[in-house]
Structure 1
Amino acid sequence: MELGDLEKLFGAMVERRRHLHRHPELSFKEKETSTYVAGILKELGVEVTEIGGGYGLVGRLRGALPGKTIALRADMDALPIQDEKECEYASQVPGVMHACGHDGHTSVLLAVAEYYSERLQEIRGEIRFLFQPAEETCPGGAVGMIEAGALEGVDVIYGVHLWTPLPLGTAASVAGPMMASVDDFFIDIQGRGGHGGMPHKAVDSVVAGSSLVMQLQSVVSRSVDPLQPAVVTIGSIQGGTAQNVIADRCRLSGTARCFDESTRQVIRERIYALVEGITQSYGTEAHIHYITGYPSLVNDEAEFGRFNRALGKVPGLKGETAAQIMPAEDFAYYLQHVPGCFVLVGAGNEEKGIIYPHHHPRFDIDEGAMLHAAALLVSMAETYQDEH
């Protein structure tokens, strides 16, 4: 890896990232982002294919030497959040912003593509660049990319996530499960409305819903193996229109996350059983819309070892063993098909005030993390080639 040549691309990385930050697009609506990325790739001489039934892109650089096919992935979508930062590259789209670093991921992968486009004679096999839509919204863009053939012939895949909880200069990963599976559920409770002063003439959906919120807290504490990390969160409860009216309808929404598929099934079954039992006991009826989302992200053990070896070739970047975290990532789908490794690259910087968590309206990254991420992806790809 020639770090000096990557450093020369840093200015372009920053410029592209800020352009994307000003012009964010939501999941499955990344039309202009996809066009922008495709235009740059074509200028670099990268073979580009639109894929995935939306705005996904696959770029290919086929080297002059025989070898394996290495895939590198970036996500492109933004979130429905109002940007509250005061900076020249703040989002220009009301109510939409890159609050998770996907603009940085896209810019990093474009830089890696540019780096390799100048080294076709040195590439062994193929470097494949996956620019994926809709990581933030289930069912996620990875599924469509895979179904459309993005992984055909791929031997290994790597991805990075710029991560503000980690300080700049740090990269972290772990062998095995690293990020949780995610399932979302929506529970609609139907009662019978009435006057607030005559509750005996009504069936109170809010009381049933409130009891259900409390009982759902027992799913993890009493039905899940205490050695298996899991969480069930009720994120919203909505019911009623006035202080003196008993609500005929109430809606709960929540999320369930864990790392083990059998635990995942236990949680689902207990939620259904509690909803049926509790709501019937209050004389209400309930309907559950349960969305099975991303599986747990499980890194290949051998590729995690390769990450550690590649890390040593990136100046200024130190490694850590990542703790398991409950946020989910649809990179998990790629890892179900081919071996690979997903890495968190530190992008936080307290001295610069870059302290806000992902999905926060003042979220930002230390842009120096993009150079670390690009260098790490190149180092991982080259380490794989050297060892095969």
Structure 2
Amino acid sequence: MFDIKKEVAELENELIALRRDFHQYPELGYQEFLTSKKVCGYLTALGLEVETVTQTGVVATLKGEAAPEKCKTIMLRADMDALPVTEDTGLPFASRNPGIMHACGHDGHTAIQLIVAKLLCRHKDMLQGNVKFVFQPNEEEAGALNMIEAGVLENPHVDAALALHLWSPISTGRIGLSEGPILGTTEEFELEIIGKAGHTSTPHTAKDALLGACNVVQAVQQLGTREFNPLLPIAVMFGYINGGTARNIITGSVKLGGTIRFLFPDEEINKPKVLEAFERVIKGTCMANDLDYKLKYIPSNPSLFNSSDMVSIVKDAAAQVFETRGNVDEFKSLAGEDFAEFSQRVPSVMTWVGIADAKKKSDFPHHHAKFDIDESVMKYGVELQVRSVLAYLNK
């Protein structure tokens, strides 16, 4: 075994430089053209054959020189897309693309995976299997499914998958790692309440879409406490509501958007039942208010499932990385992550790596304009992925 810690330490400056470069030039989903070009160039320089998939996605496979004819393939996935957020960090390497920001740590994920690729390419003679590096676009809007449909899990066939997520709700030096369903099923929706416009002095001649929208927002909250077992978490949240043009005009249309999230899908609470109940309440509320509606669902994520066997491998690797087993927290969240699509198809694990340090101002929530990461943590992510790959392929 090579001295992993030493080699990671030697590459830390490059790791941080890569992250800062990606951070300065963030790109939205399926617009990651510059990011994709940089990733392709880096992997090509390592001697890997690179393929672009689903517009801006990048895939490269490292074939282990110690691999038998029939061997396993493990996939490592990093997401590349940024968010429509105007950065307010004051960092010297802040976003140069107005209105776009890496506010979720994907810049760090991409940088980590490139350094992992460099280390594993250096030591491919030790690999008794293949490593498929997947740099995924559009994670924020379920780009994983498009990559799967494009065949990313085949040629060679993927037997297991790893990913990590830098996570500000967890303190620096700690990780979140649990078996089973760890993230909620997520359904994004867009809803329009349709009425009839009128003058506010004669409300009886109109059909008030705004009042109807308010009633709908209130009514669907009963799903979590009356429709389903309140011990099973379900959250119906509205992220925006738009309607009206003037103070004295009753608007004829209101548009809303939001998410439905729930954990532990089973016979009692599952996607078809939740969506049926959601629309039934909307329909009934609109009928009571003599209104119409249009409802559309946006491609979203199933629950992310961590394989117990893969979690065991990563926990052992983490004990070597952090030289303790006392920094692992149980992790579950209603957040969505489209690595879930991979976890539904092959044994997978996503590890949540803590980055919160108030002194470094890296404890702001994800998707916040002041979000930043504790860059000192990234080297642990590199080492964790390298050790996990070696353990899986060489066990």
Q: Which interval holds the TM-score relative to the shorter structure?
A: over 0.9
Asked if the contact 1:56–1:132 (Cα under 8 Å) also holds between the matched residues in 2, the reply is yes
Moved more, 127-136 or 285-294: 285-294
Partner of 2:175: 171
Listed as ranges, the matches of 1:225-264 within 5 Å are 225-261=229-265, 262-264=269-271
Quick one: which amino acid aligns to residue 340 of structure 1? S
Moved more, 294-303 or 218-227: 218-227
Partner of 2:306: 299
Which one of 20, 23, 26 corresponds to residue 28 of structure 2? 26
Partner of 2:273: 266
Which one of 309, 328, 334 corresponds to residue 326 of structure 1? 334
Asked if the contact 1:308–1:319 (Cα under 8 Å) also holds between the matched residues in 2, the reply is no
Quick one: which amino acid aligns to residue 142 of structure 1? A
- Counterparts of 2:330 and 2:106, CA distance in 1: 20
Asked if the contact 1:83–1:91 (Cα under 8 Å) also holds between the matched residues in 2, the reply is yes
Listed as ranges, the matches of 1:137-176 within 5 Å are 137=141, 140-152=142-154, 153-176=157-180
Q: Post-superposition shift, 1:321?
A: 3.2
Listed as ranges, the matches of 1:62-81 within 5 Å are 62-66=63-67, 67-81=71-85
Asked if the contact 1:224–1:263 (Cα under 8 Å) also holds between the matched residues in 2, the reply is no
Q: Post-superposition shift, 1:385?
A: 2.5
Quick one: which amino acid aligns to residue 29 of structure 1? Q
Which one of 124, 138, 149 corresponds to residue 120 of structure 1? 124
Give RMSD over aligned pairs: 1.4
Quick one: which amino acid aligns to residue 291 of structure 1? I
SS of 1:360 mapped into structure 2 = coil
Quick one: which amino acid aligns to residue 345 of structure 1? V
| 1:288 has 2:295 as partner | yes
Asked if the contact 2:60–2:134 (Cα under 8 Å) also holds between the matched residues in 1, the reply is yes
SS of 1:223 mapped into structure 2 = coil
Q: Post-superposition shift, 1:219?
A: 1.2
Q: Post-superposition shift, 1:356?
A: 0.7
Asked if the contact 1:183–1:257 (Cα under 8 Å) also holds between the matched residues in 2, the reply is yes
SS of 1:42 mapped into structure 2 = helix
Q: Post-superposition shift, 1:264?
A: 2.6
Q: Post-superposition shift, 1:195?
A: 1.3
Partner of 1:40: 42
SS of 1:72 mapped into structure 2 = strand
Residues 159/326 of structure 1: CA separation in 2 closer, same or farther (3 Å cut): same
Per the normalisation by structure 2, the TM-score is 0.94
Asked if the contact 2:127–2:394 (Cα under 8 Å) also holds between the matched residues in 1, the reply is no
Which whole-Å deviations, capped at 9, do the CAs of 1:104-147 have from their partners, x for residues lacking one?
0000000000101111211211111111101012xx22112212
Asked if the contact 1:178–1:322 (Cα under 8 Å) also holds between the matched residues in 2, the reply is no
- Counterparts of 1:61 and 1:182, CA distance in 2: 33
- Counterparts of 2:23 and 2:323, CA distance in 1: 26
Asked if the contact 1:223–1:266 (Cα under 8 Å) also holds between the matched residues in 2, the reply is no
- Counterparts of 1:179 and 1:38, CA distance in 2: 31
Q: How many residues align?
A: 384
Which one of 354, 357, 362 corresponds to residue 365 of structure 2? 357
- Counterparts of 1:44 and 1:290, CA distance in 2: 42
| 1:107 has 2:111 as partner | yes
Quick one: which amino acid aligns to residue 376 of structure 1? L
- Counterparts of 1:234 and 1:291, CA distance in 2: 14
- Counterparts of 2:191 and 2:322, CA distance in 1: 51
- Counterparts of 2:193 and 2:12, CA distance in 1: 54
Which one of 199, 202, 217 corresponds to residue 203 of structure 2? 199
Which whole-Å deviations, capped at 9, do the CAs of 1:56-85 have from their partners, x for residues lacking one?
111111111124211111000000000111
- Counterparts of 1:354 and 1:68, CA distance in 2: 38
- Counterparts of 2:204 and 2:149, CA distance in 1: 55
Which whole-Å deviations, capped at 9, do the CAs of 1:271-312 have from their partners, x for residues lacking one?
111111111111111111123511010111111122211111
SS of 1:328 mapped into structure 2 = coil
Residues 18/198 of structure 1: CA separation in 2 closer, same or farther (3 Å cut): same
Moved more, 58-67 or 71-80: 58-67
- Report percent identity of matched pairs: 35
Asked if the contact 1:193–1:248 (Cα under 8 Å) also holds between the matched residues in 2, the reply is yes
Per the normalisation by structure 1, the TM-score is 0.96
Which one of 346, 349, 353 corresponds to residue 345 of structure 1? 353
- Counterparts of 1:319 and 1:172, CA distance in 2: 9
| Structure 2: gaps spanning 5 or more residues | none
- Counterparts of 1:316 and 1:366, CA distance in 2: 20
- Counterparts of 1:94 and 1:177, CA distance in 2: 37
SS of 2:349 mapped into structure 1 = strand
| 1:57 has 2:79 as partner | no
| Structure 1: gaps spanning 5 or more residues | none
Quick one: which amino acid aligns to residue 64 of structure 1? E
- Counterparts of 2:148 and 2:117, CA distance in 1: 20
- Counterparts of 1:155 and 1:191, CA distance in 2: 52
SS of 2:272 mapped into structure 1 = helix
Q: Post-superposition shift, 1:344?
A: 0.3
Moved more, 245-254 or 109-118: 245-254
- Counterparts of 1:373 and 1:217, CA distance in 2: 39
Residues 200/302 of structure 1: CA separation in 2 closer, same or farther (3 Å cut): same
- Counterparts of 1:70 and 1:281, CA distance in 2: 54
Quick one: which amino acid aligns to residue 283 of structure 1? D
| 1:133 has 2:137 as partner | yes
